[in-house]
């Protein structure tokens, strides 16, 4: 066999090998166990997929480059999206809800500032319920209900201040009772029935120390899936607990985790952020490392996204997220260049999230989400 023939054979073998590698089933190095009727998913530090698992493509922006006042926001407290793609936005300064069509065109305003029926003091959260009503929580201690067209239906008094996370398909509410404002903090995550009678305590977080910003202090986080499961965790360790709609523990998800050190640059950033309170006598305490994670989210397909403290390209706005499939298997470490927080909405392969304009004004962004798992 001449040199050219040998080279051709080597090329073919190499090409076949590369193709076969690409087609290999991704490897997951964890294990699943059953213990006392509870599924325990033990994930390794590395995800199943090493490359990019999903992509975001911006489709729509509301709040930028528009001189009309209905498109400008002072501060956005929450957003929601209905099945038709209509977007509902709470504007803090005007204490109302603005409604936009799926193309970003302004349609109408719901509610106004006041104390009467259908009026708000400070709306802080909203959700389209399973029976197509707009449920709005007001800081004054009221829950106000509207039709999706904006007609006032009724309201009810909240027995205690509750920061809503989500109402499930049965009308039960998962919410947070805040013990004290930051930095003292402390909270209890509870599940309530449709009349806001407490059903169960999901998690309790201890209060901090008065007068001290405790950087690196663990916290409790919670998300509710479209199938009414509750996922919660205490960030002192990388463990997620999955509760069924009746509140029973059915799954525990763990992941090997190496704590991230709080760097000198991070310390400087926090000191700059809290400069005014520190001048007024507040103190700041830095722990050596960050907790295991900084929030928990669930998309509309059951995937779990856990926010880490690792920044994307050293940008303070964006972070890496650990992504788990509905079975609790760690499938990807994803750099998410969108500001995912409690206001964000996942719906029909789209992500709705808040972002500040270069001038500092809040905007609503819609992204097309393409998953590759």
Low-confidence ranges of the chain (pLDDT < 70): 1-25, 65-66, 373
- For 164, the domain range is 27-371
6 within a domain of the structure (yes/no): no
> What is the predicted pLDDT for the residue at 7?
39
17 within a domain of the structure (yes/no): no
Asked if 192 and 201 touch (Cβ cutoff 8 Å), the reply is no
Rounded-to-integer distance, Cα 154 and Cα 146, Å:
7
299 within a domain of the structure (yes/no): yes
Number of structural domains (the chain) is: 1
15 within a domain of the structure (yes/no): no
Number of H helices, E strands in the chain: 3, 30
> What is the predicted pLDDT for the residue at 66?
66
12 within a domain of the structure (yes/no): no
Residue-wise pLDDT tens digits, 226-278: 999 999 999 999 999 999 999 999 999 999 999 999 999 999 999 999 999 99
Here the tokens at position 105 are: 């065109």
193 within a domain of the structure (yes/no): yes
Strand partners, 252: 40, 241
- Dihedrals phi, psi of 305, to nearest 5 degrees: -120, 120
CA angle (365, 371, 373) in 5-degree steps: 155
The kind and range of the H/E element at 119 are: strand 119-120
> What is the predicted pLDDT for the residue at 11?
40
> What is the predicted pLDDT for the residue at 20?
38
Rounded-to-integer distance, Cα 59 and Cα 104, Å:
10
Rounded-to-integer distance, Cα 238 and Cα 255, Å:
6
312 within a domain of the structure (yes/no): yes
Rounded-to-integer distance, Cα 229 and Cα 145, Å:
24
- CA of 25: how far to CAs of 22, 91, 316, in Å? 8, 47, 35
* Nearest C-alpha neighbor of 319 from the set 294, 351, 345: 294
204 within a domain of the structure (yes/no): yes
**CATH number, domain containing residue 160:** 2.120.10.30
Here the tokens at position 66 are: 């528009």
Rounded-to-integer distance, Cα 69 and Cα 186, Å:
38
């Amino acid at each position: 066999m001449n040199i050219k023939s040998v080279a051709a054979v080597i090329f073919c073998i190499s090409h076949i090998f590369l193709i076969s590698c690409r087609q290999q089933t991704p490897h997951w190095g964890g294990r699943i166990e059953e213990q006392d009727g509870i599924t325990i998913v033990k994930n390794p530090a590395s995800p199943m997929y090493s490359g990019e698992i999903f992509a975001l493509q911006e489709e729509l922006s509301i709040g930028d480059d528009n001189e009309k006042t209905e498109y400008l926001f002072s501060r956005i407290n929450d957003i929601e999206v209905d099945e038709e793609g209509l977007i509902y936005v709470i504007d803090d300064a005007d204490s109302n809800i603005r409604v936009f069509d799926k193309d970003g065109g302004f349609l109408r305003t719901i509610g106004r500032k006041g104390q009467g029926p259908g009026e708000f003091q400070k709306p802080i959260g909203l959700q389209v319920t399973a029976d197509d009503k707009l449920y709005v929580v007001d800081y004054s201690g009221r829950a106000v209900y509207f039709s999706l067209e904006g007609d006032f239906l009724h309201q009810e008094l909240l027995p205690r201040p509750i920061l809503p996370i989500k109402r499930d398909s049965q009308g039960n509410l998962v919410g947070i009772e805040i013990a004290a404002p930051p930095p003292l903090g402390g909270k209890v995550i509870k599940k309530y029935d449709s009349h806001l009678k407490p059903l169960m305590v999901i998690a309790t977080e201890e209060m901090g120390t008065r007068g001290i910003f405790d950087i690196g202090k663990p916290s409790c986080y919670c998300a509710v899936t479209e199938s009414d499961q509750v996922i919660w965790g205490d960030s002192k360790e990388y463990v997620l607990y999955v509760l069924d709609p009746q509140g029973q523990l059915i799954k525990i998800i763990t992941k090997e985790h190496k704590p991230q050190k709080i760097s000198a640059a991070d310390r400087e950033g926090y000191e700059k952020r809290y400069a005014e309170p520190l001048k007024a006598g507040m103190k700041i305490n830095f722990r050596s490392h960050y907790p295991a994670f900084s929030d928990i989210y669930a998309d509309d397909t059951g995937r779990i996204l856990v926010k880490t403290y690792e920044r994307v390209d050293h940008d303070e706005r964006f972070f890496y997220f650990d992504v788990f499939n509905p079975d609790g298997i760690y499938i990807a470490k994803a750099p998410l260049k969108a500001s995912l927080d409690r206001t964000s909405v996942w719906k029909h392969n789209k992500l709705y999230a808040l972002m500040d304009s270069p001038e500092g004004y809040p905007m609503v962004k819609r992204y097309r989400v393409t998953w590759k798992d």
